[in-house]
Amino acid sequence: MKRDLCLAEIARRRTDEIVVATYNSAFDWMRLQPHDLNYLSVGAMGLASSHALGLALGRPDRRVIVLDGDGSLLMNLGSLVTIGAAGPANLVHFVCENGTYEANGGHPIPGAGRVDFAGMAEAAGYRSAHSFREFEAFEAALDGILSATGPVFVALKVEPGEASPKDYNYIHGPETRAKFRAALNRL
């Protein structure tokens, strides 16, 4: 599956959710769905899931979607257990699994192709966990996933799609955080 096509399906269904995106998923998401409620979790690999958990707990009235990467999640596997224990009903955690640290040169992750991220999430206490290799199956299940009581975990077996602009000044810029903070305060 192409990552950008999977993310485009999520974007088509987005209403007022907070979306936490990291690295290459963030670049794709900014192209597909620019919005002030996009939180770009960059600068420290692995923290997207933790940032999303904090937002989900702090704003239980708002669904939070996290767009994570397999390399990023490996940097913070403990967040799966923390999320499972906290049990935020409003959290949906997508992991784009391509078997590489794509943001850092495409080096293979340990256990690429053998690690069962959905199985780990389920064992850690997520209410449900899914894994998709076929776009049609993902597309058919997505409405149910996005409306399910969380925490929900979804592993997407992906490869890069259309190249997105990589605007590092924007993702690291203080004005980006300020726009998100202002949008969150208006809710």
Q: Report pLDDT digits (tens) over 158-187.
A: 987 767 667 877 877 888 889 999 999 998
Read off the pTM.
0.92
Domain ranges of the chain: 3-186
Phi, psi of 142 (to 5 degrees): -60, -45
From the list 137, 146, 160, the residue with the least C-alpha distance to 4 is: 160
Give the pLDDT of residue 105: 56
Give the pLDDT of residue 101: 59
Distance CA 174, CA 3 (A): 27
Spelled out in words, what is the top-level CATH class assigned to the domain 3-186? Answer: alpha beta
Question: Are residues 117 and 110 in contact, defined by beta-carbon separation less than 8 angstroms?
Answer: no
Is 90 exceeded by the pLDDT of residue 108? no
Distance CA 22, CA 28 (A): 10
pLDDT digits 0-9 by tens, 37-59: 999 877 667 899 999 999 999 99
Q: What token pair was written down for 108?
A: 């293979």
**Bridge partners (DSSP) listed for residue 19:** 38, 65
Distance CA 140, CA 133 (A): 13
Using CA atoms, how far residue 7 sits from 27, 29, 65, 156, 169, in Å, is 11, 7, 11, 10, 22
Give the pairing of strands 100-101 and 107-108. Answer: antiparallel
pLDDT digits 0-9 by tens, 137-166: 999 999 999 999 999 999 999 987 767 667
